Amino acid sequence: MSVLINQPALAELPVLNGRQFRLWEDMLENRIGVRVAKRQGYICSEISKRMIEGGWGDADSYFRDVLGTLAGAREWGILLDRLLVKETQFFRHQPSHDYVRARVTSLVTPNSGISSRSAFNIWSAGCASGEEAYSLAIQAAEGFAAAGQPENYYIVGTDVSADAIASAREGIYSNSALEQSPSMLKEKYFSPPDGGKRQVASAVRQRVAFSIANLLEKQTRYNNYLDLIYCQNVLVYFKHWRRREIVKNFQACLKPGGCLIIGPGELTDWVPDNMRRLDVPGVQAYEKRRKQ
């Protein structure tokens, strides 16, 4: 009840004019690449709510503070968590997940690919609250099992949202989030339900690390290191030229022979240099050429 009393009525929210919205629009695009023009109403009302919570009286001074002060850096993180679209689910695009499992199996089967000593390294880029990264971990585990090999994979999940990464690290999800997941996988890779929730099994969590990272910044520490990069429902928020820049970064991070999987239709009319499109029905996947 008290929450409702403390909530300002919509009519009381400070109103952002068109000029002020465009300042935020440009800032979001420059800092994280995300275009928000189509969500103007939502963005303006979230900024207004945040101004009230933090005691800012006018939109220009709020913008200046977020942009230019040390206190603003903290405020930026809080605001960002409110503005991003973090919708996600387990095994979200089944054909892509099926391909990940099959690819792991074929590469780790003895004498068919990576050496038995090197781990299979996967990056879930824009992983939101972790469902995607854990789904990939489960596919990798199943892939190793199908090849009759001991599990030897690692996953890193990154997102620009600090809130999302904090939830991902906990690995606790409501039963409803898992409703569509196969029972066999739920029993094998999650704790039994407790208070309407389940936690990802510790054997899986131990192989998955999460960190806050902005896809506009190059992740040079992964250069030529990764076997697979999975990035779905993220590029779609970016301008086309930025999608290409990000994919070029992905290309640099893959080992020769490594694979990039994006969401179907998220990159059109362009194949990155040094990569070839894989012929997998319903899946948009590219392989980095082995010889440069």
Ligand X SMILES: C[S@@+](CC[C@H](N)C(=O)[O-])C[C@H]1O[C@@H](n2cnc3c(N)ncnc32)[C@H](O)[C@@H]1O
- Footprint of ligand X (CB under 6 A): 32-34, 84-88, 92, 126-128, 132, 159-161, 164, 214-216, 232-234, 237
DSSP 16: P
In the complex, least distance from residue 127 CB atom to ligand X, rounded to whole angstroms: 6
List the one residue out of 267, 256, 262, 261 whose CA is nearest residue 226. 256
In the complex, least distance from residue 168 CB atom to ligand X, rounded to whole angstroms: 10
Strand locations in 160-292 (E):
172-174, 197-199, 208-212, 226-231, 254-262, 275-277, 284-288
Residue 44 vs 261, nearer CB to ligand X: 261
Nearest residue to ligand X, scored by beta-carbon proximity:
88
Residue 108 vs 219, nearer CB to ligand X: 219
- Give the other-Cβ count within 10 Å of 237's Cβ: 19
Residue 89 vs 109, nearer CB to ligand X: 89
- Give the other-Cβ count within 10 Å of 60's Cβ: 13
**Spatial distance between the Cα atoms of 208 and 239, rounded to a whole number of angstroms:** 30
> 197-199 and 172-174 as β-strands: parallel, antiparallel, unpaired?
antiparallel
Residue 56 vs 90, nearer CB to ligand X: 90
In the complex, least distance from residue 112 CB atom to ligand X, rounded to whole angstroms: 29
Residue 135 vs 151, nearer CB to ligand X: 135
* Length of the chain measured in residues: 292
Q: Dihedral of the CA atoms 130, 211, 221, 274 (nearest 10)?
A: 30
| Cβ atoms 165, 132 nearer than 8 A | no
Residue 76 vs 146, nearer CB to ligand X: 76
In the complex, least distance from residue 176 CB atom to ligand X, rounded to whole angstroms: 16
In the complex, least distance from residue 288 CB atom to ligand X, rounded to whole angstroms: 21
